[in-house]
Amino acid sequence: MKNDLVSVVVPLYNKEEYILECANSIINQTYKNIEIIIVNDGSSDNSKKICEQLAKKDKRINLINQKNLGTYMARYNGIKNSHGKYIMFIDADDYIRVDAIEILYNTISKEKCDVIRFNPEIISNNNTKNNYIYKGKELIEKDDIFNCLLTSNYLNSLCLCFYERKLFNNIKPIEKNIINGEDFLLNLDVFSKVDKVLFLNDYLYYYRYNINSTTKKIDYKQILNNINNFIYCFDKYYIYVNKWDKSDKYKMLASYKILEQTLSILFNFFNVNISKKKFINICKQIMESNVYKNVYKYMSYKDMKKIIKNKSFKYIIKHYINLCNFYKKNYSLLWYNKLVFKIIK
């Protein structure tokens, strides 16, 4: 019996330093029946030229060129041009283990699930460490999938999942160039159609984390643009959650996810060389946005007291004290500040 075709989508923008390693890790897979769809998102370096040379040598490579529309639209166009029964995504500066697709294909065929979530190894300054790890092998279904999606980071990333291609049949383009949060936004749509997810304790993906990129000076206008992107994504959370369930349960969990991600976003800005005044303006832009009216609506003090016991949230919340020191006037943060001190003192 012939093995099914697997599609691998690689969004590409100015990654000439890494794209060859990424592409070769896919080309050299032990599972051979694959198509490699590289979507060049208007690169201005030598990335396009490198991929053109690769495509001449390997007919499984389909290079698509588009103007700079962002990662979401690069993946969207890659999906629309894919023909496999299964699909996975790899960022152009990352790479995968040589037998990754063979393991994933054999597992999904055996387990009859819709999605497999596997583990990454994080490469930081040429050192490898494990992170975002889900230990053990576990099959979860509908309600547990939603809970996992909204209360953890395990299902945030497209690159750490192996999907049935049909889950993406009705995805739509978006009107904004989303810089951050595009993975989770797409997964919100996809996982609303999923019945079973298998968590696999295999390290198959090598994620390159460039620590210097988070500490470099960022233009203030770009930061504000990024914040607008996050708010746009946050607003979509409630739309997708409404499709799953009309009750307040998942709206409360969506609010939790929004608050958790907000704190992560704001904490990142502590490493950016901007003034206190500008930082407060960033906080205001988020906290006073329309989407935060839902956060305040669906999350009470009692709700927060239960949810905050989550380990990943407690880690982030420690940094929230710094935010509260900047932004003490917001009444909605004052009660929360008291809760934080009570729990982590």
326 confidence band (pLDDT: 50, 70, 90): very low
Residue showing tokens 């995968």: 96
Taking a C-beta distance cutoff of 8 angstroms, is the pair 319, 268 a contact?
no
Q: pLDDT tens for residues 76-89?
A: 999 999 999 999 99
DSSP H helical ranges for the chain: 19-27, 47-57, 71-80, 100-111, 142-151, 182-191, 212-215, 220-244, 248-268, 276-287, 291-298, 301-307, 311-326, 331-344
Which amino acid, one-letter code, is at 122? I
Q: pLDDT tens for residues 64-123?
A: 999 998 898 999 999 999 999 999 999 999 999 999 999 999 999 999 999 999 999 988
Residue showing tokens 């050192």: 127
- The CA distance from 263 to 240, in Å, is 22
Q: Is the pTM of this model over 0.95?
A: no
**Mean pLDDT score of the chain, rounded to an integer?**
79
Q: Output the six-digit token pair for 141.
A: 């279904």
Higher pLDDT, 239 or 342: 239
pLDDT of residue 341: 44
